[in-house]
Chain A
């Protein structure tokens, strides 16, 4: 059983390994399209690990159907020993999340509010609290080919704590080579957890007001982490003026433009990889990977 740890603990200390995260801000811009095609193209040349950290709705596996081994991801919740408990209320007072209710008769735990911080157990003067595991998701590892390893994180339906599952998913990724992470949309906790300890961010955007608005937020997050970015414009309209201006101002290179084409939509929509069908695009995604690796060397201050 893979237990989550409250402190971030990725064993990614390997040198000469590049960890690329694909993010966007706005959902639906084409992160998985880029991550999947790039990983496939790279796997023709070297070993690569592809990690699906969009644990609330993982979809990378749709492009790489393969048998995998699954392990559960657990979070701990407190269990109160009624014999030892004196109803002093110390645990409830400590809990920031309202997960512990102290009634005159007993202490009641609400598991879905618990953030597994472990504080209640520490403050209990009677040592009446033990931590019990509760499954909140899974991590599946599969090998679509000899050179490609796919790690898929999945948050159980009804659960809300994506970060612990993302952390466990990243932990399962091999440290023996480059890693491509398909990130979640947005810029909140799941994205923060995904971006941490990566070397370069490929931002996939689209030439719409929403696309640009959310790209700016996502770039802001990457800057906080001092992670350099590059941009891929998906569904390009040919001019993409606003995106170009922004990237110019921020000195972020635009490395790839994917056209707004029915052909792309058809291939992508049926779970196929355009890089596997068209050598020109295979080379374009390989080039994206090379540029990302170079960009990873840039030190942001």
Chain B
């Protein structure tokens, strides 16, 4: 399955980005093959609707699970409607660490 993570950089050792809609990057990690795809978020500086737009971006990438810090109201509604499962990562962890924590069931589910 594919995991989408909001990150501050475009590599697997980048720190996770707490803000969902305005995250500069999203990493799409295949949980079976460990393949990593980095996507620059084109909407991070839009005036509005960034939460739903980020949710759409991840949906388009075929993501099933989302790891992020926090989500705003519009993002929450869009993610809920999309059927994606969303978990909260700990600040200061890298994308790789966040995936490991997710697999261990250590992360709290947000949506």
Contact A110 B74 (CB under 8 A): yes
Q: Is B52 an interface residue (CB 8 A)?
A: yes
Contacts of A97 on B, CB cut-off 8 Å? 48-49
Number of A residues with CB within 8 Å of any CB on chain B: 14
CB distance from B22 to the nearest CB of A (A): 12
Number of B residues with CB within 8 Å of any CB on chain A: 17
CB-CB under 8 A for A103 and B49, given A98-B74, A110-B77, A113-B74: no
Q: Which residue of A lies closest to B79 (CB)?
A: A101
Contact B59 A99 (CB under 8 A): no
Tell me which residues from 84 to 117 in chain A have a Cβ below 8 Å from any Cβ of chain B. Answer: 92, 95-99, 101-104, 108, 110, 112-113
Contact B48 A98 (CB under 8 A): yes
Contact B83 A98 (CB under 8 A): no
CB-CB under 8 A for A101 and B82, given A92-B56, A96-B49: yes
Q: Return the CB mask of B55-92 against A: 1 if under 8 Å, else 0.
A: 11001000000000000001001100111000000000
Q: Which residue of B lies closest to A109 (CB)?
A: B81
Q: Which residue of A lies closest to B49 (CB)?
A: A98
User: Could you tell me the dominant secondary structure of chain A's interface residues?
Assistant: loop
Q: Which residue of B lies closest to A114 (CB)?
A: B49
Q: Which residue of A lies closest to B62 (CB)?
A: A104
Bound CA–CA A98/B46 (angstroms): 10
Q: Is B8 an interface residue (CB 8 A)?
A: no
Contact A101 B81 (CB under 8 A): yes
CB-contact partner of A98 in B52, B59, B81, B82, under 8 A: B52
Q: Is B5 an interface residue (CB 8 A)?
A: no
What are 18 sample pairs from A and B whose C-beta atoms fall under 8 A apart? A95-B49, A96-B49, A97-B49, A98-B43, A98-B50, A98-B51, A98-B74, A98-B78, A101-B55, A101-B59, A101-B78, A102-B59, A103-B82, A108-B78, A108-B81, A110-B78, A112-B74, A113-B48
